[in-house]
Amino acid sequence: MAEPEPELLTVDQLAARTGTSVRTIRYYAGRGLLPPPTLRGRTGLYGADHVARLELVAELSALGFTLTAIERHLERVPASAGPEELALQLALLTPWAPEALDEVDHVELERRAGRELDADAVERLAAYGVVEPVGPDRYRVQGQIPLAAGLDSLDFDLDAEFWRRSREVIDRHTNALAEELMGVFQDHVLQPYRDAGRPADQRSKLATALTRLKPVTVQGVVTAFGRAVNRLIRERTERGTEQAAAR
């Protein structure tokens, strides 16, 4: 059986498919971020590789890459890269946890919190890491789930310094953990793929595996942390019992 013709899109259809304006698509093409379209008569037609490349550009932009940095990254991606290879690039770059931040004023912050927030409450939320003051009456705030956890912290009789020091400990150890885990992923997943010559039949499998690996790894960290705390509680309790018996 003959393979079906690949779907081709006009620039307007490509814009609708990717949520990118026609003007932006043409601007990206002018800067070499997109390969030229296929011409049929005077009409330029775009394929799945153009869709995948635009999605990759959008993800890089959302991660805070400047346009110049995006250009440098895409220079390392062959112009002939197809949708599967670009999908793998996207899977590698997609954040493991959402970090969307909105900038709001104090009135909007209180509306999202569903309660009044005095200066001490805002300071504790900032120490907890869910609110970041960025100017007079301006804050960057995380999504509703992290904010809800931060609001729960206000109900404990613990000062901002407790939450600040706790976050510093968590950040220090999770940064080291992330670096080591990425090293393991590099050695056991990415490097064998590269050593094998980046076979086309492995790209989509690798992208799918990476997408599924993220929640499994995060849950593994949460489970391991819980076990470590339980073990520490048992050990301290046993030491306390032994010391009391020795007196």
For the chain, the distance separating the N- and C-terminal CA atoms, rounded to the nearest angstrom, is: 86
Residue with the larger pLDDT of the pair 211 and 71: 71
Q: Is the pLDDT of residue 68 over 90?
A: no
Mean pLDDT of 200-220: 77
Mean pLDDT of 191-198: 81
Tell the residue number behind the tokens 């997109």, with chain if given.
34
Mean pLDDT of 163-172: 88
Residue with the larger pLDDT of the pair 53 and 94: 53
pLDDT for 95 = 64
pLDDT for 216 = 79
Whole-number average pLDDT of the chain? 83
Residue with the larger pLDDT of the pair 104 and 89: 104
Kindly report the length of the chain.
247
Q: Is the pLDDT of residue 2 over 50?
A: no
Q: Is the pLDDT of residue 182 over 90?
A: no
> Which of 1.10.3720.10, 3.40.50.150, 1.20.1630.10, 1.10.1660.10 is the CATH number of 11-93?
1.10.1660.10
Q: What are phi and psi of 158, to 5 degrees?
A: -130, 135
Q: How confident is the model at residue 226 (pLDDT cuts 50, 70, 90)?
A: confident
pLDDT for 224 = 85
Mean pLDDT of 147-172: 87
Q: Is the pLDDT of residue 1 over 70?
A: no
What residues contact 73, with CB distance under 8 A and at least 6 apart?
Answer: 60, 65
pLDDT for 116 = 92
Mean pLDDT of 56-75: 82
Q: What sign results for the dihedral spanned by CA atoms 104, 106, 107, 112?
A: positive
Q: Is the pLDDT of residue 3 over 50?
A: no
User: Rounded to two decimals, what is the model's pTM?
Assistant: 0.56
154-157, Cβ contacts within 8 angstroms, sequence gap of 24 or more: 154/121, 154/124, 154/125
Contact of 57 with 66, CB cutoff 8 Å: no
- Of 52-56, 74-78, 217-221, 240-244, which range is least confident? 240-244
Q: How confident is the model over 12-53, as pLDDT tens digits? A: 999 999 999 999 999 998 888 888 898 888 889 998 889 988
Closest among 29, 23, 40 to 79, alpha carbons compared: 29
Q: Is the pLDDT of residue 204 over 80?
A: no
Mean pLDDT of 53-69: 82
Q: How confident is the model over 97-143, as pLDDT tens digits? A: 555 678 899 999 999 999 999 999 999 899 988 898 888 889 988 87
Name the amino acid, one letter, at 34.
Answer: L
